Amino acid sequence: MAIARFPTIVLDCPDPSALAKFYGEMLDWKAEASEDWVDLKADYGQCISFQQVENYRAPVWPEQEVPQQMHLDVVVDDLDTAEAAVLALGATKHATQPGTTFRVFLDPAGHPFCLCLS
């Protein structure tokens, strides 16, 4: 039997509302905000949270001066279509692209994430 359920991934960022808006539009999840925290929730219970951090420093990848510590992989059916959509939402395509079945991007706060073929 599990000790816990519905784990939440929490991303530090300078503006939780802005970053939650980006991921909410990408994933079509609903936001629930408090003063310096936003939860994004899927209908099936999965959650990603965003917390405000003063003096936030974006990770630097693939270098390790400011390590990424974690990143999100999201599954897509078509890389080109998904790339155009996340760029329109405010993502940046990273200069380093080490694979062919996934693409690396930076969210508006600088966190790396990957679009991965299903």
Instruction: Give residue 81's domain range.
Output: 64-118
* Pair (21, 43) in one structural domain: yes
Q: How far apart are CA 106 and CA 68, in angstroms?
A: 11
Residue 36 has a pLDDT of 86
Q: Are residues 52 and 2 in the same domain?
A: yes
Q: In the structure encoding, which two tokens stand for residue 49, read together?
A: 């949270």
Distance separating alpha carbons of residues 17 and 10, to the nearest angstrom: 13
Region 22-47 average pLDDT: 93
Q: Is the pLDDT higher at 118 or at 82?
A: 82
CA pseudo-torsion sign 18, 15, 38, 73: positive
Asked if 37 and 88 sit in the same domain, the reply is no
- Do 60 and 112 contact (CB within 8 A), yes or no? no
Q: What is the mean pLDDT of residues 24-37?
A: 93
What digits encode the pLDDT tens for the residues 41-95? 999 989 999 999 999 999 999 988 888 888 898 999 999 999 999 999 999 999 9
Say if residue 6's pLDDT is above 70: no
Phi-psi region of 31 (alpha: psi -120 to 50; beta: other; left: phi over 0): beta
- Clarify whether residues 50 and 77 are in a common domain: no
CATH of the domain at 33: 3.30.720.120
Residues 6+ apart with CB under 8 A from 90: 22, 107, 108
> How many folded domains does the chain comprise?
2
Same domain? 84 vs 40: no
**Residue 40 pLDDT:** 95
